[in-house]
A and B are shown apart, each in its own frame.
Chain A
Amino acid sequence: MMNNNFEHIPQEQFRFVQMDERLHDKKLETKSRSFLQDALLRFSKNKSSVIAAWILLFLVLFSLISPLVSPYTLNDRDKLFVNFPSYVPEVAKLGWGIMDGSTVHGSQNENSVNFWKGIALETGLDPVISVENTYTTLVKYRGKMVERYTYDLKVNRYFEKGAVYWTLNYQQFEDLQKWQNETGIQVVLPWVEYSSIHDIRDNANLWYECDDKGAAILDKSGNFVPVYSSRKEIEGAPYDSLRIAGDDGSYIYSFSVSGAVRVRVCYYNFYQYLNGREPSYIFGTTSRGQDLFSAIGIGARFSLIFAVIVSAINLSIGAVYGAIQGYYGGMVDMILDRISDILSGVPMVVVVTLFQLHLAQKAGVLGSFLFAFVLTGWIGMAALTRKQFYRFKSQEFVMAARTLGASDARLMFKHIFPNAIGTIITSIALVIPGVIRSETTLTYLGIVNLESYVGATVGTLLSDGNAAVTTAPHTLLWPSLFLGLLMISFNLFGNGLRDAFNPSTRGAED
């Protein structure tokens, strides 16, 4: 007869199957892979995202390094080299046609060609790099058909500036002469009386016989006729330094004005005297005469740091808010949802403006700008967290933890939240470009003026550049290119990251 009584089995009837050996699972033969490694592997398979990540790294490094590498700070504002194209003397000398500070001046007549020739002769710096095109037209002149030529000329804008009038005090004038003697660079040019150039006062580049429009009148052999002044009585201060070729020592190099001297200086060389180096602007100059290269770097650095801070704050607020919404559900969820509905309904422009009007005096422009981004920025993150919480909160491991007596806060942040963290972290990579985009838009529109805090923002650079789109396209090109690349690479990178961390949602857009 079978013993079916399993209720009270006496203890001594039990015995161990074995005691000698520790039992464990068979050891895996392959190397195990962590979640992170797995994600990285998936990420590296996505080629466009990998490329985007490298570009992104490059752009971030650029924004960090360019202000350090550039010899200029944002306070170096040149008054005359404004909106000038890219120029690096070392590269320009190679004649590759890049970074030579050139602009093409279309359909120029003989007079302008002579004007530039005059600059080249006097300063020794030839502005004309090359003749792009020559056009021949037949014009009727005094009853005869005459050939007239017009040219498209590639001109170096830095050299084109030529001579300018400058007022120096006596001490400065002496220092300048001393510097000239040391370096052998001719800065001061002989004075030309206004009366000998038809009283043209705004053009310092006329040193020759010209008509009342400033067009050169050449002598029979086609040479310029100098009209330098040698009247000692109007000389501003004694001059004992370099003299230009063809000067027999009688030319005067300054003009007396009350308490100071007025001189004609070759601006390119004068710039070297003032700054101790030749002008060298990799991206050219901005409309304020700053170095565009470092200005973009500084603007971009601000954008990136600002976006990261905003995203971090929004992440924290949104995570807590969404966790409470998702965990408690029901009435709490509904009320909190209504609040975020209302906040998300207010347009961004309005929020930023109101914060600027109310808070700018107390919290500063930058502070109120940050607040404005935080006010509505967290809502997306909260919705995301809420969704994840709804997904996980009714699963068994949560129930198990609750049965063991875990508190609500512990359940929320120790048990459920880690499951949602992958989604949340990857969504940051997609939130940051959004913040940069709005920040750029708002500074572009001038709703927020961060100039005094940051110096330069990509938005203001774009706005200045747009004003000069025809004359200085480079001021628009580089900031736009930077912003465009940054946006594209951030989004591609973010997408790749999201697909890598959440393989189940690949391709879904949410």
Chain B
Amino acid sequence: MFKYAIQRTLYMFMVLLIITCMCFVLIRMLPPETLPPGDPHTAVVLARREAQGYNKPYMVQFGIFLKDIFTKFDWGISDKLFFGQNVVKIFTERLPASMIVNFYSIIASIPIGIGLGIFAALKKNTWIDYMISTLTMVVISVPSFVYAFVIQYVFSYKLQLLPFLMKSGTDWFSWDMFVSILAPIMSLSFGVIAGFTRTTRAELTEVLTSEFMLLARTKGLTKAQATIRHAMRNCFVVVVPAIFGEFIGILGGSLIIERIFAIPGVGGLTLNAINARDYPIFMLTTVFYTAIGLAGGLVVDISYGFIDPRIRMGSKK
């Protein structure tokens, strides 16, 4: 098992390195920003570009880039959006806002989603099941920003219960902050809840019809006992990795939800960096999003292995 985890992790880092290299070269191939002549900063920027090897071959530049990261964790200096500031510092300032919104939305979604899924599976082929399944399908189809619009209109404008935008400041755990991020939390949660419901329902219906459930009932367990002790455990083999995968995703934030509710998060930073052509920031967010995506897959794979020994040992699917 340990070997499998190590293998997968190393492989993930390989992929990450290759993607980083590709994106790095593509970004460096773009003509660098022309600097205003005579500006006192120009000389500094030029010196920094020289140090980063702008006139050397791309692979040498990439080497310098990697060396800076591994020795000093230096991802460069923002040259447009936050002129002269360290990219990592800007980035880490944005991280909590994204994380907190996503964290709340997942924490809220897990019990609701799994609860609905179990309920639907237990009432299989009744109208309750059909209703939950169809609703899940409908909710999953609609993009999260449509919910955001509805919530913004109904709760913020018509009922005036919630503020339109996220409150500024860094008091992440205050009550005011919580109220101000309720709207984005709700908009994100719909999709996540539906996702959990669908996974749980599909898995549990399958487990409930399996033979060991029949055996459990025959040996005298009540339906509730059998469901909780046998069916749920097996159903969680699939559900728990999905939860872990979602948790990795909370770091990333949602580009569109952050834009709608003015959340000062990573998504907003990425968008601003793209619009302002701030390449150092863009490079960092690119690596960040890639790493999150890969780590999500990795965590799902490895947690499958931990929970279900049958999948272990790197066996081919």
Q: Which residues of A contact B (CB under 8 A)?
A: 48, 341-342, 345-347, 349-350, 353-354, 357-358, 433, 437, 440-441, 444-447, 462, 465-466, 469-470, 473, 476, 480, 483-484, 487-488, 490-492, 495, 507-509
Contact = CB atoms under 8 A, between A and B. Distances in A.
26 contacts: A342-B18, A345-B290, A345-B293, A346-B290, A350-B286, A353-B274, A354-B23, A358-B29, A441-B255, A444-B256, A445-B259, A445-B271, A447-B274, A466-B149, A469-B157, A476-B153, A483-B142, A483-B146, A484-B141, A484-B143, A487-B142, A488-B138, A490-B141, A491-B141, A495-B137, A508-B202
Nearest to B285: A350
B198 A509 contact: yes
Nearest to A481: B146
A94 B184 CA distance: 41
A509 B203 CA distance: 10
Given A469-B152, A484-B142, A349 B290 contact: no
Contact of A354 (B16, B27, B255, B260): B27
B158 to A, nearest CB: 9
B30 interface: yes
A491 B140 contact: yes
Interface in B131-145: 134, 137-138, 140-143, 145
Nearest to A447: B274
Contacts of B255: 349, 441, 445
B196 interface: no
Interface in B30-54: 30
Interface in B1-40: 15-16, 18-19, 22-23, 26-27, 29-30
A94 B275 CA distance: 49
B141 to A, nearest CB: 4
A358 B26 contact: yes
Interface string B263-293: 0000000110011010000100010011001
B150 interface: yes
Interface string B116-160: 000000000000000000100110111101100110110001000
B95 interface: no
A345 B16 contact: yes
B182 interface: no
Interface of B: 15-16, 18-19, 22-23, 26-27, 29-30, 134, 137-138, 140-143, 145-146, 149-150, 152-153, 157, 198-199, 202, 205, 255-256, 259-260, 270-271, 274-275, 277, 282, 286, 289-290, 293-294
A121 to B, nearest CB: 34
Contacts of A349: 255, 270, 274, 289
A138 B157 CA distance: 29
A401 B133 CA distance: 44
A437 B282 CA distance: 23
Nearest to A491: B141
Contacts of A491: 137, 140-141
B48 to A, nearest CB: 22
Contacts of A495: 137
A437 B254 CA distance: 14
B286 A347 contact: yes
Given A445-B255, A470-B157, A487-B142, A346 B149 contact: no
Given A347-B293, A491-B137, 11 more contacts: A346-B22, A347-B289, A357-B30, A446-B275, A462-B145, A465-B149, A469-B149, A473-B157, A483-B142, A484-B141, A491-B141
Given A345-B294, A447-B271, A480 B150 contact: yes
A441 B145 CA distance: 9
A483 B259 contact: no
A480 B149 CA distance: 8
Nearest to A440: B143
List the 7 closest pairs (A to B, CB-CB), nearest first.
A491-B141, A347-B289, A487-B141, A488-B141, A484-B142, A350-B286, A480-B146
A507 B202 contact: yes
Contacts of A483: 142-143, 146
Contacts of B282: 353
A358 B202 contact: no
A498 B134 CA distance: 16
A507 B22 CA distance: 40
A444 B19 contact: no
Contacts of B19: 342, 345-346
Contacts of A488: 137-138, 141-142
B143 A441 contact: yes
A354 B27 CA distance: 7
Nearest to A438: B143
A378 B122 CA distance: 38
Nearest to A446: B275
A430 to B, nearest CB: 10
Nearest to A465: B149
Contacts of B145: 441, 444, 462
B292 to A, nearest CB: 9
Contacts of A446: 271, 275
Contacts of B274: 349, 353, 447
A46 to B, nearest CB: 11
A335 to B, nearest CB: 13
